[in-house]
Chain A
Amino acid sequence: MNHEDFETILPLYAAGQLAEAERDAVEAHLPVCSVCQADLALWQAVSGEIRTANRSVAVPPALGERVLQQIRRPSGLAHPFNRAWQLLRAQTLLVHREMWPAVAALMALGVIVAVISGHLEFVYFVAPMVAAASLAMLSGQENDPAFELTAATPTSPWKILLARLSIVSAYNLLLALAATLVLLGFAPPHLLGTLVLGWLAPMAFLSALALLLSLWLGTTNAIGLTYTLWVAHYVPYQLIEQWTASSAWTGVITAYQQLWQKPPLLWALAILLLGTALWSAGHPAFRLNQGVSEGDQYRA
C-alpha cells in the first residue's frame, strides 16, 4: 500500500470499519507518517462530532403513529388513479373557459358550411385547425392565469401539460366525431370510416405540432405556423409551377402534399412531437421564447 491508499482507508480506520489485515497495515504505517497522523486526528475529531451529534437526535414521538395511519389508509391501485383524476379535474378548471364554447362553435360552423356548400370534406379542413388552435392555448403566461402558481407546485410541468393535453384532445376528438355523425345525415352511412380517417391523423399531427410550437414560440406564432402548413397543402401548386419550372420544387411540393395522405407517418410524427413537447415542458431553458416571456413579465 502506498500513502494514497492509506489516505483513502484512514477514515474507515477511524470509524472502526477496517478488516484486521488492513487495520494492522495502518497501525504499522502510522508511526512513520506524520501526514497520516494528522489526518487520523482530523478523522477522529470528525467521527466523534458526528457520533455525538447523531446520538442526541431523538425521533419525534408521533412519527410512528403517522406512518401507521398512512399505511392503514386505503390506497393500492386506487391511489395513482385518484391522483390522476384529481389532477385532471384541477387542470380542467385552469384551461381557458372561453376555449370550450369557442371550439364547439367553430366546429359547428364547419359543419354548417359543409352542409350548405355540399362539400362534406370541409370537415377535414376545419377539424385539425380547431384542434391545433385549442392545443396552442394550453400553456404559458399569456394563456394560464395560474401560470406562476402552477410552475411553483410540486407536480411536474410535463404532468400538468399531459393532463391538459388529455382533457382538451378528448374534447376535440368528441367534437370532431359529433360533427362527423351530423354529416352522416347527409351522406351514406358507409362513409363514416372514410370521414373519420380523413381528419384523425392530420388532427393528431397538427395538434402535436401546435403544442410544441406554442411552448417554443408562443401561442400566436404556433397557430400562425400550423395554419400556414395546413393551408399550404391545399394550394394548387400546378399553377405556380408555370412560374417556377424547377423539378426540385415539384418534388418537394409533391412529397409535402403526400405527407398528409400517409396516416402512419403522421401518427409517428405526432408521437415524436408530443414526446418532445412533454420533455420541453420540464426543461424551460430549452424554450426558444423564454427570454421574450421573461422580458414581457418584467415590463408588466
Chain B
Amino acid sequence: MTSCVVTHKEPWPAAMVSPEPDFRLLQRIAAHDEAALQELYAAYGQRLFAYALRLSGDPAAAEDVVQETLVSVWRAAGRYRGEGRVLAWLLGIVHNLALKTLRRRSLPITDEMELALPAPGASPEAHVQAGEEARWVQKALQSLSPEHRAVLELVFYQGLSLEEVARVCQCPVGTVKSRLSYARRHLRGVLSRQNVEERS
C-alpha cells in the first residue's frame, strides 16, 4: 500500500499490478484512493484500450472512451456490487461508451444485418491452413459490424464467458450465441467469395 501512494505531481506508474482482489480495489476507489485507480489501470488499461480501439477503430476515440470509463469508475465505483468479474463490469462501460461514440458518427447498426447472410460456399479449410490466413481473417473481421466484432473480441481476447459477454453487450445469452453463429457464417462467406475470386 505504501509503495502505491503517489503524490499529485507524479506521473502515472508504468506497471503496478495489484495483489489485492479486484473488489477490494474498487472499494478503495470508491473511497477516492488514487493509488487504487492506478492499480486498476495498470491491471486492465491495455485490455480496455484494446477493446475500445477494436470497437471504434480510432485511437483518439478509444483514448477518450478509456479516459471516460476510468473517470466513471472513479465516480461510481461504489455502485459495483460484486456481481461478476470486475473486468466484465469495466468492459461493459467501455462497450457502452464506444458504441455511443460510434452511433454519434454514423447510423446505428441493427440485427437486420443478421438476415443478410452471405451464402456459404466452398470450404474454408484449405485456406485456414494456408499461410495467408491472417490476411483474410483480418479482412473478414473488418467487415463485421461492431456488435459482432465485439462478441469475438470479448471471447477470444478478453476471455469472457457467454454470460459475461451478454452482460457486457446488455443482451440475452441467446443473442450472443446468434452473433457468434452469424460471425461464423459471415467469415466462411468472405472466404468463399475469396476462393471464387482467386479461381477466376
B141 within 8 A of A: yes
**CB of B87 within 8 A of chain A?**
no
Q: Which of A255-286 contact B (CB under 8 A)?
A: none
A38 adjacent to B37 (CB under 8 Å) = no
Q: Check B187–A57 contact: CB distance below 8 A.
A: no
Residues of A within 8 A of B125 (CB): 37-38, 41
Beta-carbon nearest neighbor of A9 in chain B: B162
A71 contacts B161, C-beta separation under 8 Å = no
Contact of A50 with B157 at beta-carbon distance under 8 Å, contacts A8-B180, A65-B11, A72-B8 already known: yes
C-alpha spacing A299/B87, complex, angstroms: 54
Which segment, of B19-27, B107-115, B131-139, faces chain A? B131-139
* Residues on the B chain within 8 Å of A71, using CB: 34, 37, 70-71, 74
- Asked if B67 and A49 make an inter-chain contact with CB atoms under 8 angstroms apart, the answer reads no
Partner of B63, one of A38, A44, A60: A60
B129 touches A14 (CB 8 A): no
Interface string of B136-173 (1 = CB under 8 A from A): 01100100000000001101110111100000000000
Known: A7-B181, A54-B54, A68-B34. A63 touches B49 (CB 8 A): yes
A112 proximal to B (CB < 8 A): no
Task: Name A's B-contacting residues (CB within 8 A).
Answer: 7-8, 11-12, 14-17, 37-39, 41-54, 57-60, 63-68, 70-72, 75, 154
- 8 closest cross-chain pairs (CB), A and B: A64-B12, A41-B128, A49-B137, A57-B50, A54-B50, A47-B156, A50-B156, A54-B157
Report the separation of the CA atoms of residues A75 and B134 in the bound assembly, to the nearest whole angstrom.
47
Q: Evaluate contact between A17 and B159: CB separation under 8 angstroms.
A: yes
Is the pair A11, B180 in contact by a Cβ cutoff of 8 Å? yes
What CA separation (Å) do A52 and B187 show in the bound complex?
A: 18
Any chain A CB within 8 A of the CB of B123? yes
* Nearest residue, chain B, Cβ from A72: B8
Choose, from B38-46, B78-86, B88-96, the stretch at the interface: B38-46
- If A46-B187, A57-B53, A65-B12 touch, whether A17 touches B161 (CB-CB below 8 Å) is yes
